Structures are given as C-alpha cells and as structure tokens.
Amino acid sequence: MPEPVLSYKDIRVSFATEFGDVDAVKGVSFDVMPGEVVAVVGESGSGKSVTSSTAMGLLPENATVNGEVLLEGKSVLTMSTAELRRLRGSDISMVFQEPMTALNPVLRVSDQLVEALQVHDVAFGGEALEKSIALLERVGIPDARTKIKQYPHQFSGGQRQRIVIAMAIACGPKVIIADEPTTALDVTVQAEILDLLRELKDELNTGILLITHNMGVVADMADRVVVMLNGEVVETGPVATILGHPEHPYTRRLLAAMPLLREAGDPSLESERVVVTERGGVGDSSSSRTATGVPDGRSNGRAANGVAGTDSDAPPALEAKDVALEYKFRRKATRVVHDLNFTVQPGEIMGLVGESGSGKSTVAKAVLGLLDVAEGELRVRGSNMPALPAKEKKALKREIGVVFQDPAASLDPRFPIGDIITEPMVVHKEGDKNSRMARARELLDAVRLPSSVLNRYPHELSGGQRQRISIARALTLNPTLLIADEPTSALDVSVQAAVLDLFSELQQQYGFACLFVSHDLAVVDALAHKVLVMQKGRTVEQGTTDQVLRHAKESYTQQLLAAAPVPNPEVQARRRTERQRLLAALA
C-alpha cells in the first residue's frame, strides 16, 4: 500500500464574518495517492475550494482551520510561513480556473516561468530559460522558443491554461490542485486540456486533486470521486461506482440534473418527435395563453394576435437576412458576424451554439437593438427593426424580452424585486401601480416564487432565484420573442435543471418564440427545436435539433459534439478515442 501524497484528516474551516462564525467545512477526510486523480464535486458553497486551499495555506485571514493536512507525511497546518512558501509551487502547485488572471499580464511568459524555477532553486539564468522552453514544448505550445518571449495576452485562452499548467509542473510537484481548470474554456479546448493533464499525470506520477462541478469532466479524468454538500463529504468512492450506482440521494440528484446530449437512437427522442409534430398545428396554445389571465383588454388583444401569429402565413417572430454585424473602435470597424440567415417561427426555440468568439452573443445584442446592423435585415414580426424610426422601434421592443447570463449583474441591486419585474411596464407606461403589482405577483407565481419576495432585494436571493426573477421580468409584457443569452451557464447544475424545466414550461404556457444562445450543446438539445452552429462569425450548420446534433454533416459540429464530456466513465472513454480518431482524420 503506497503512502498517500496528500491527505486531509477531519478538516474543519470556519470564517469569522459580520454575522458571526460560518462553518464552511465540517470535518472532511480523504487521501490522494501518487498518480491518482481525485475529483471533488459539489455545488457552489459546498466548501470544495476551501478544503483544497487548506493544503496551500492560502485561506483568507478570517478563516480558522482545524484538523490535519499531510503532504507526504508532513503536516502543512503547523508549518511556518517560510516553510509553506517553499512548499508552494515545488511540492504542491495549483492550476486556477481563470487563465486570464492567473498570469501576470505585464510580464513575459519567459519571465514568469523562469521566476517559478528560480524561486525554488531548480535552475537559474540560461539553464532556467532552456528548461522553460522545454516545459512549454511539453505542454504543447508550438514554436515555444520564439513564443516564450511573448506576453500572456498574445496567447489564446487554451494556450494560457497550458502555460499555467507548465508553471504548475515546473518544479515537479507531488500533487497538483486543479480548481475548475476548464470551466472558463470552450468544450473543444477543455477536452484538449484534460488530455494534457492526463498525460502529464501518467508521466510524472503526480497526484491531482481536481475540483469541478462538471460530472462529464469527472467521468473523463477522475479515478476516485469525493462528493461534497454543505461542507461535508456525503459520498466517496471509485468513479465508476459513484457515477454508475450512486448511493446518496444528493449524488443521484446531481447526476440527474446534468442535461444530457442524447445520441441517435436514444429512446426519449421518439416521444419528443411526436410532440414536435403536434406542435406544428398549435391549436391549443391559444387556450393556454388566454388562461394565464392577462390583466387588461389591450394585452388580451395582443395575446390573440400572438396566437394568430402561429398560422403559417403570419410573419416569423424573428428573421435574419444576410445580416452582417460589426464593432466600431476608433472609426475602424471589425466585422464579427457575416452573412447570417435564419428564421424563428412564433412559438419556436432556436438554439444558437458556438464557442467563445463565434459571434453568438453579438447576434443577440443586435436583435435587442443594442448594436447597429451593418448590413442586411433583421425582421422582428415582419418589420425590419434597425430601419424603424425611434418611436416604432421602442414600440416593437415591447415584443422582445431578454434574459442575460449573470443573474447577479442583470438585476439592479438597488431595486426591490417588485420594481424590477414591473420595470418594463413603467418604461412603456403601461398600467397603474395596482395593476403592475398584480402582474408582478402573477409572474412570481409563474416562476414559482412566493409573492413575499416582492419587497426583497436581489442580493437576498440565491442565483437560481435571481434568474427566475430575470425570466419573470422578461415575460412582463407578454413578449412574442425572448432572447436568452446563456441564461443558465452561471448556475449550478441542479439549479440549472430547475430553471430549464421552468423555462420550457413557461414557453409552452406563454408560447413565445426564443433565441437561445448557449455554448452547452446538452442544454440546447433539451430545449431547442432548431439549432444554428456558428464559428468565427459564420454559420457552420443549421437545421432541426435532431439533424444538427445527431446527424451532423460539418466536421466542426462533429468536433463540438465529440468534445462534450458525458457523465459516464465508460462511455466517456469510448467518446474520447472516437474524438481522437476524428481529429486525426481531420489533420
């Protein structure tokens, strides 16, 4: 039986705050063996990052730590500051979530790598530089000798994370703590980084403590899994057991909440196809729409229009014709979206998928009228919105609701919830105080929040609750079109699942059309009728969800699909080899 490289024994951490002591971690114990990947999973606030930070001695000053952290048998918590500093980076190192901020932007990559080596007396001067170049080559940076002289911003996000990993392995650590190392990256890049970590671990026999919330990443990487909830370990065991036969209800819930990208032949697809064809003749949505109890007669009229809009000869809810979009900076325009064409019919959800920089959010901005359209037409219910005079444009904006990604940022922190929800009515001068509040109550009910939150402020609510408020605000004026820009990517999986459920329910109830922007193929698969895949501002592929996600024609779409990890170790291993074959075939 080999000695564990890192072992946590009954770790307890509490933070002294304004509101008294908060116990973040309540007695956590587990080991990491050499060459083993232990994944700590849990949602935000479960204490997973706090636990791992105790091994680095990097907790803020108001934290009290009890218990024992052993790194190769030496207790970390009793070490002096100087000893700890020697330890950090040499025996134990860290890979952070955000490669953008983990590197110093004003220093060359060479300086940062050489510094890491020199601080720990590994190598000096020219030797250190040579070693740094070798490290960069090891982590797969092409042309390392010239590139090492560049600054961090000259590298892409994935390459930056590779550099961070190079720094982490510079001094041959016994254990690497990887705190959400791929959360900020695109799926294809994520797959590459995970491949790299796996190779390095086998080569260096390093233990990896992987902190993540993504069960797919766990299935891809981990040997053992530790599931944490509210500062306690609820379940621990080999990855196949935990993901295959979870014991604890919380683990089951987490797994169930994970949206799945269904492969062709998935039984659940059959039932859906029936539903989709039924939806073609949307006869019954009129009853659901009027049944929502729209407050005044005017809105009722609109609701009726909305229903008429589902007829085949009605204009589409949103139509883009040869749209090109550009950002202007100092009178120089950079075109970011080219020749975009799509149609969203009333009551239809279109998923807009792509990696960062593909221009998907830019499209959403343009539809919201926050960005001028450089070329082409953007028709909202048949009228070309960018060309309308200001007054009509404002009137047309009533028809568009929006839900943004970050629920913390998209609600004004100084507004009580009631005012937030009724703001669209205030802006469009609709209703009086009482009817507005009545509408707010109705919407809170629709998003399943108690009406007592009317007087609360956003910071008193959790992330999921805030996103529900966002959705409620978007629905205030009964829009025919909803723009959702990554509405769930800032949320924990189980919260995401609840919000997505709610979203599709509301979509049926209110019958709005939706442009759903997301990088998560599984989420799009669960919600959308149609999918448009974008890459670098151009359309790669579009069609029904089934066509695009299960019978992809374009190699880019296939790569995207292959890179999305699934929470099943065996399936994931199979998918991994498939992906590598696909990439090899492309090369």
Partner 1 sequence: MSEIHRPEARVEPIDSTIEPVGGSATSKTKKVEEASLLADAWRSLRRNPWFIVSAVLLVLFLGMALFPQLFTNNDPRECLLGRSRQSPSAEHWFGTDVQGCDYYSRVIYGARNSIAVGFIVAIGTFIIAVVLGLVAGYFGSWVDAVISRITDMVFAVPYILGALVFLNVLESRGVREVAFVLIIFMWPTMTRLMRGSVISVVNSEFVLAARALGAGPITIMRRHILPNSLGPVIGYATVFTGIIIGAEATLTFLGVGLQLPAISWGLQLSDAQPFLQTVPHLLLFPVIFVGLTVFAFMTMGDAIRDALDPKSKK
Stretch 303-362 residues interacting with partner 1 (CB under 8 A): 349
- In 496-578, which ranges are E strands? 513-518, 530-535, 538-544
The verdict on 109 binding partner 1 (CB under 8 A) reads no
Q: Count interface residues toward partner 1 (CB under 8 A).
A: 75
The verdict on 271 binding partner 1 (CB under 8 A) reads yes
Question: Quick one: which of 174, 436, 473, 576 contacts partner 1 (CB under 8 A)?
Answer: 473
**Looking at residue 460, what DSSP letter applies?**
G
By C-beta, is 154 or 455 nearer to partner 1? 455
128 alpha carbon, distance to own chain's centre = 37
> Binding mask 479-498 vs partner 1 (x if CB under 8 A, - otherwise)?
----x----------xx-xx
Shortest Cβ 194–partner 1 spacing (Å)? 23
Shortest Cβ 500–partner 1 spacing (Å)? 5
Shortest Cβ 389–partner 1 spacing (Å)? 13
Q: Across the beta sheet with 481-485, what order do the strands follow? A: 400-403, 481-485, 513-518, 349-354, 530-535, 538-544
Question: Quick one: which of 3, 21, 58, 62 contacts partner 1 (CB under 8 A)?
Answer: 62
Both tokens of residue 199? 């190779």
Both tokens of residue 62? 């108001």
Shortest Cβ 462–partner 1 spacing (Å)? 5
375: left (phi over 0), alpha (psi -120 to 50) or beta: beta
Shortest Cβ 392–partner 1 spacing (Å)? 11
Burial of 9 (0-12, 13-18, 19+ CB in 10 A): middle
Question: Quick one: which of 194, 402, 484, 560 contacts partner 1 (CB under 8 A)?
Answer: 402
The verdict on 424 binding partner 1 (CB under 8 A) reads yes
Shortest Cβ 141–partner 1 spacing (Å)? 33
Shortest Cβ 357–partner 1 spacing (Å)? 19
Q: Which residues in 207-226 contact partner 1 (CB under 8 A)?
A: none
Q: How far apart are CA 66 and CA 497, in angstroms?
A: 35
Shortest Cβ 479–partner 1 spacing (Å)? 10
**Looking at residue 519, what DSSP letter applies?**
S
Shortest Cβ 259–partner 1 spacing (Å)? 7
Question: Quick one: which of 6, 11, 233, 257 contacts partner 1 (CB under 8 A)?
Answer: 257
The verdict on 550 binding partner 1 (CB under 8 A) reads no
The verdict on 574 binding partner 1 (CB under 8 A) reads no
Q: What are phi and psi of 515, to 5 degrees?
A: -105, 110
The span of 196-204, 380-388, 400-408, 547-555 binding partner 1 (CB under 8 A) equals 400-408
Question: Quick one: which of 104, 334, 504, 580 contacts partner 1 (CB under 8 A)?
Answer: 504
The stretches of 408-487 forming alpha helices (DSSP H) are 417-427, 433-446, 463-475
CA distances from 530 to 104, 274, 533, 545 (A): 42, 16, 10, 5
By C-beta, is 58 or 427 nearer to partner 1? 427
For 555, the 3-state DSSP assignment is: helix
Shortest Cβ 572–partner 1 spacing (Å)? 15
Q: Are the C-beta atoms of 255 and 246 separated by less than 8 Å?
A: yes
Q: Of 120, 119, 155, 159, which Cα lies nearest the Cα of 139?
A: 159
Question: Quick one: which of 88, 302, 381, 529 contacts partner 1 (CB under 8 A)?
Answer: 529
By C-beta, is 114 or 368 nearer to partner 1? 368
Task: Name the residue type at position 86.
Answer: R
Q: Are the C-beta atoms of 495 and 463 separated by less than 8 Å?
A: yes
For 158, the 3-state DSSP assignment is: helix
The span of 141-149, 367-375, 436-444, 552-560 binding partner 1 (CB under 8 A) equals 367-375
By C-beta, is 308 or 395 nearer to partner 1? 395
Q: How far apart are CA 346 and CA 535, in angstroms?
A: 26
The verdict on 284 binding partner 1 (CB under 8 A) reads no
Shortest Cβ 4–partner 1 spacing (Å)? 34
Both tokens of residue 168? 């982490």
Place of tokens 């994944």: 39
The verdict on 392 binding partner 1 (CB under 8 A) reads no
Place of tokens 């139509």: 319
Shortest Cβ 240–partner 1 spacing (Å)? 16
The verdict on 148 binding partner 1 (CB under 8 A) reads no
Q: Are the C-beta atoms of 497 and 326 separated by less than 8 Å?
A: no
The span of 147-155, 201-209, 317-325, 396-404 binding partner 1 (CB under 8 A) equals 396-404
Question: Quick one: which of 201, 213, 360, 398 contacts partner 1 (CB under 8 A)?
Answer: 398
Q: Which residues in 227-256 contact partner 1 (CB under 8 A)?
A: 252-253, 255-256
494 alpha carbon, distance to own chain's centre = 13
Q: Are the C-beta atoms of 41 and 217 separated by less than 8 Å?
A: no
208 alpha carbon, distance to own chain's centre = 23
By C-beta, is 37 or 500 nearer to partner 1? 500
Q: Are the C-beta atoms of 89 and 71 separated by less than 8 Å?
A: no
Q: Which residues in 18-37 contact partner 1 (CB under 8 A)?
A: 18-19
Question: Quick one: which of 152, 259, 376, 431 contacts partner 1 (CB under 8 A)?
Answer: 259
Place of tokens 């819930």: 253
Q: Are the C-beta atoms of 168 and 38 separated by less than 8 Å?
A: no
By C-beta, is 256 or 573 nearer to partner 1? 256
Using alpha carbons only, what angle is made at residue 577 by residues 574 and 581, rounded to the nearest 5 degrees?
135
By C-beta, is 63 or 583 nearer to partner 1? 63
The verdict on 535 binding partner 1 (CB under 8 A) reads no
Shortest Cβ 291–partner 1 spacing (Å)? 18
Q: How far apart are CA 482 and CA 473, in angstroms?
A: 11
By C-beta, is 159 or 494 nearer to partner 1? 494
By C-beta, is 118 or 455 nearer to partner 1? 455
CA distances from 151 to 193, 307, 379, 492 (A): 20, 56, 43, 34
The span of 198-206, 422-430, 432-440, 555-563 binding partner 1 (CB under 8 A) equals 422-430
Residues in CB range of 354: below 8 A, 6 or more apart: 360, 519, 533, 534, 535
> Binding mask 425-464 vs partner 1 (x if CB under 8 A, - otherwise)?
--xx-------------------xxx-xx-xxx-xxxx-x
